Structure 1
Amino acid sequence: MPFHAEEHARIVSVERLRPGDHAFASYTDEESRWATIGSFTQTGISRGERVLLFADPALPETTVLEHLEAYGPPVGPPLECGQLKLLTMDQMWRPATISVERQMAGLRREVEEALDEGYATVRSAIDMAWVASYGADIERVLWRESEGCHPLFADAHYTEICTYDETRFDDDVLGRAAVGHPTALLRRPGTLLARPFTEDGERDTYGLRLVGEADLSTREEFNDALRRVADSAAPRVVLDLTELSFLDVYCARAVLLLAAADEAKHLVIRCGGIHAHTFLLLGALDIPQLTVEGE
């Protein structure tokens, strides 16, 4: 697989993107392509953001709209009022000739226009199929991805995902594109990724970070992650759930049962406020060797 999650400091689900994020995404089929783009677009609409969508130039607008509506409410109203804009990348540099610099200037104009119209934040989803469609220089595109577009994100008003078709780009390009982005998305929404991590100065601590969703559909992966925690010989374990977009009650209870089963191991759960509240309601305070670090 050309994209290796361990090469990135921050892997998130599409729902956990924040203003100022510039994220790499890849897909291998139509389902994974639109699961990412559809979720990203519908999330932006629901948050009141201006959404710019640069879909594959080969697709008719009606097809794009059909795919978007599979992941949320009808997009006709936001399209009519201008909250959602369906664009093609050549509109960013025309009538001049193609260049990455003109592309970025066009994106800056779109962001500034949205801010002037009262939108607090702007997000764009860019299907990188445009590169072949318009004959862009891939080396200049990769420069743009890793270095050239930083000013767009400086004030945290703009969020962007760049989605790469793994069947159209070779492994070298995909790998360089992935590493060039400060953030990368899970390859498919609704999945779960477990990533070990270490903490500075904590030699006797085992850390495991979970990213994505912990529910019935990812139960097997979640249970595997808990087995890794149980099998750890470290006296202190940190289970970082801050990048979970969803945690069901079954999974939360399973974590507490794991903590209660080993009195010799100190388990630290790091999570957001909603998940911390869930753990407290399920009896976390009754487990002396458990610490919940939440908002």
Structure 2
Amino acid sequence: MLKSRAKQMDDFLATYLNADAKNGEIDRPEKLVNAMRHGVLNGGKRIRPFFVIEIAKMLGADEELALFPAAGLECLHSYSLVHDDLPAMDDDDLRRGQPTVHIAYDEATAILAGDALLTLAFDLTAHEESGLSAQVQIELVRALARDSGVGGMVGGQQLDLDNENKEAAEELISRIHAMKTGALIRYSCEAGAIIAGSNHKERQNIRRYGELVGLAFQLADDLLDVTSDAAAMGKATRKDAEAGKSTLIAIHGVEWARERLNQYVGEAEALLAQYGRKADIIRAATHFVAKRQS
């Protein structure tokens, strides 16, 4: 199902990432569009749009209504990777087994490609062809802005940079994880509830599920960083140690991390219990996030 949804999202994104100017646009520079495509259409798992679509579907929404917001989220996530890979940030040459955007093109184009993907994310989230009501679009844009901005993903990246080569406390490490990685995954789940028109209680329940999945995702990523290799991951490994970053694994060890992962999965599954068999694919995705090998 992940592969099927990933292909669906790739096909959807490819239609909006071409050189043809869209309604209201003046022109689309070919080099910039190609750099954007390189940053997005490069074989990602599409975990975040998967959660948007599948949770909306689980809660009774037409999955077609989730496509534009899901594509917008993937554009925003991809912009963050393009910028994270820059020499001023993580200075990575490899992403998903391919040269990063600034290596394939140049630094200035990579910055602009990230900027363009970020703005395209909000264009797609509030797109006139999405079929979503104006109120739902406003709620999605507001939630995406807050989970991806200064109080979410971007703020988490700043805290991460500020604490390189420092011995960070466990509470700070957890806060960085919740902001840098967890906030956007939390949004991917909550967006499904917003699209489905869930009430406040259900939306909070799904939001908490997303928080747990986000924590599991980051912990699994940290485990892979110390136990896997670049060939399997499609990117450099052991980066945290080389960058002098404190991690929960460095504090508690690998076995503790695996036990904590199981705890997160158990808590997340408990929140899905009320949905019965409708949540089967989401349960499977929860396990995939925690046990993935790349």
Do they superpose with TM above 0.5? no
TM-score, normalised relative to structure 1: 0.28
| Greater RCO, CA 8 A, separation 6+ | 1
**Which structure's CA Rg is the greater one?**
1
TM-score, normalised relative to structure 2: 0.28
Structure with greater proportional helix content? 2
